[in-house]
């Protein structure tokens, strides 16, 4: 059993020592909580739980603390994928829910598993998700000052459970000040993908990740026999060719854990019950 989480790029916000330490401590705490949860739950349930904890922390651009779009509205996206069943479900540009990842998880058994905009919100309301504003004063201040963070904020989790099953979940509050209706990578297989061989979650500039099909490429290459590290390396070399800005975390079916970014520094933490690895 292993788990790895990410919280976007450290360069997305204040780069003070205090913020860095806060993110290191937060990621370590969430990774440990998620690993404990994994002891008695599937990888699928665990990645949703871990991402919900990240969504609840205003240090990250997902859930509470999400960026405000150019029309003054927060719209969030999230997806989850079960490596065993190869089913993906997600929400795109959903408004006023606390944890988009749980709405995405609820959709996994529906025939229509990816919903957007008003349809996603209507589904959430009908399934008991309360109306909830995720705006925090810092985001409103940034919006009013027209400060753009560069669109590098997303959270995600990859896990392998005691039965060797893999799952991945990813959630984002957007890049900030984007055109309403813009679709990020987070609720697509470019940014969130898993099968029985590998699972990968991405963060960075959504347009670059989609152009590179980053998560799907890495998982496909591992499926075809590449090592996890080699699959990451080849995919990020292709990303570099288009000057793409991205980071990714992954686990393969043998329990190998890997992470890589194209620019410094993706914030992440991994835990296997004994050893923590946290970004520095």
Residues labelled as active-site residues: 154
Q: What is the dihedral of CA 190, 172, 77, 242, to 10 degrees?
A: -30
Q: Which two tokens stand for residue 134?
A: 């995720």
Q: How far apart are CA 172 and CA 185, in angstroms?
A: 9
Q: How far apart are CA 215 and CA 23, in angstroms?
A: 24
Residues contacting 254, CB < 8 A, separation 6+ = none
Q: Which two tokens stand for residue 122?
A: 């209507």
Q: If you search the block for the tokens 């598993």, which residue do you land on?
A: 113
Judged by phi (left if over 0) then psi (alpha if -120 to 50, else beta), residue 265 lies in beta
**DSSP letter string, 134-184:** ---HHHHHHHHTT----S---EEEEEE-TTS-EEEEEEE--SSSPPTT---
């Amino acid at each position: 059993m292993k788990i790895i989480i990410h919280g976007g790029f450290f360069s997305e916000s204040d780069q003070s020592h205090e913020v860095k330490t806060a993110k290191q401590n937060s990621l370590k705490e969430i990774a440990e909580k998620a690993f404990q949860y994994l002891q008695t739950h599937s990888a699928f349930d665990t990645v949703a739980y871990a991402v919900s904890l990240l969504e609840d922390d205003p240090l990250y651009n997902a859930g509470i603390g999400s960026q405000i779009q150019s029309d003054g509205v927060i719209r969030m996206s999230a997806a989850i994928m079960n490596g065993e069943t190869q089913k993906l479900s997600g929400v795109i540009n959903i408004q006023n829910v606390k944890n988009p990842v749980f709405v995405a998880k609820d959709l996994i058994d529906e025939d229509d598993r990816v919903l957007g905009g008003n349809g996603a919100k209507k589904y959430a309301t009908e399934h008991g998700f309360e109306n909830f504003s995720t705006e925090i004063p810092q985001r409103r201040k940034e919006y009013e000052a027209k400060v753009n963070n560069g669109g590098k904020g997303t959270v995600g989790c990859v896990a392998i459970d005691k039965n060797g099953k893999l799952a991945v979940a990813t959630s984002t509050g957007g890049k900030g000040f984007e055109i309403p209706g813009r679709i990020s990578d987070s609720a697509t297989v470019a940014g969130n993908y898993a099968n029985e061989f590998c699972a990968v979650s991405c963060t960075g500039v959504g347009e670059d990740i989609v152009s590179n099909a980053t998560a799907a490429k890495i998982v496909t290459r591992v499926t075809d026999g590449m090592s996890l590290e080699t699959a990451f390396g080849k995919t990020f070399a292709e990303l570099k060719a288009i000057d793409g800005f991205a980071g990714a975390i992954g686990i393969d079916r043998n329990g190998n854990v890997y992470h890589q970014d194209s620019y410094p520094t993706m914030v992440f933490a991994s835990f296997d019950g004994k050893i923590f690895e946290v970004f520095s």
